[in-house]
A and B are shown apart, each in its own frame.
Chain A
Amino acid sequence: MNLYDKLIKLYPSLTDADFSPLGTITLQNDSDGKGDYIALWKHPSLKEPTQEELDAIN
Chain B
Amino acid sequence: MPLILSGATSGSTTIQATDAVTQTITLPAQTGTVMVNGPTFSYYQSSAQTLSSSTTTKITFTSSEFDTTSGMFASSRFTPTVAGYYQFTAGFGVATTTCPAWVYFYKNGGSATGKLGNYITATSGISNIQSTALIYCNGSTDYIEVYGGVGTGQALGTGSSTTYFTGILVRGA
Contact = CB atoms under 8 A, between A and B. Distances in A.
Interface of A: 2-5, 16, 19-22, 26-32, 36, 39-40
Given A4-B153, A16-B151, A29 B55 contact: yes
A21 B55 CA distance: 10
Chain A interface, DSSP helix/strand/loop, else mixed: mixed
Describe B's contact surface by its main secondary structure. strand
Interface of B: 49, 51-60, 76, 99-100, 102, 104, 109, 111, 116, 119, 147, 149, 151, 153
Contact of A4 (B55, B111, B116): B55
A13 B79 CA distance: 41
A5 to B, nearest CB: 7
Contacts of B60: 31
A13 to B, nearest CB: 15
Nearest to A17: B100
A3 B153 CA distance: 12
